[in-house]
Amino acid sequence: MMKPSDRPNRFPGHRDSGSKQPQPDLADLWTQAQALETRLHHLKVGLQNLMDLEQIESSPPGPSDAHRSQAEIANLQRAVEDLEHQLAHHLIRWEYWQEPFWQALRYGGLGLLMGWGLAWLVYGS
């Protein structure tokens, strides 16, 4: 007779209740989704501002709206700089680099130790 644990999993993304990995809290997932939605909105607004800035800079200015265009260009440039700052800040956050850092340290250190061990075996004997 087949046990339930011997049965192939029909739903690979589904975890059973006996799983040892901690289940994320629904409120935590909701806040992460809200944060992603906010970042996506900021990114879309920033990209639209960048496209507007490129369009304004590429078109020849008229004599009547030169002052208004300069003010609008300055506002769009500030918005683009803010977007660049936010994207750069997101890339240098520790949470973003934490896992790759520890994996590089773990496997790089393991490789170094294995290299030293092999060198000791080859040259030390």
pLDDT of residue 48: 85
Q: Tell me the pLDDT of the chain averaged across its residues.
A: 76
- Encode pLDDT of 49-88 as tens digits: 788 877 877 776 666 566 777 777 788 888 888 888 887 7
Write the single-letter amino acid at 111. Answer: G
* 94, pLDDT greater than 80: no
CA 43 to chain centre: 13
* 11, pLDDT greater than 90: no
Long-range contacts of 37-44 (CB under 8 A, 24+ apart): 39/90, 42/83, 42/86, 43/83, 43/87
Tokens representing residue 93 in the block? 């956050």
List the one residue out of 121, 46, 60 whose CA is nearest residue 90: 46
Burial of 72 (0-12, 13-18, 19+ CB in 10 A): middle
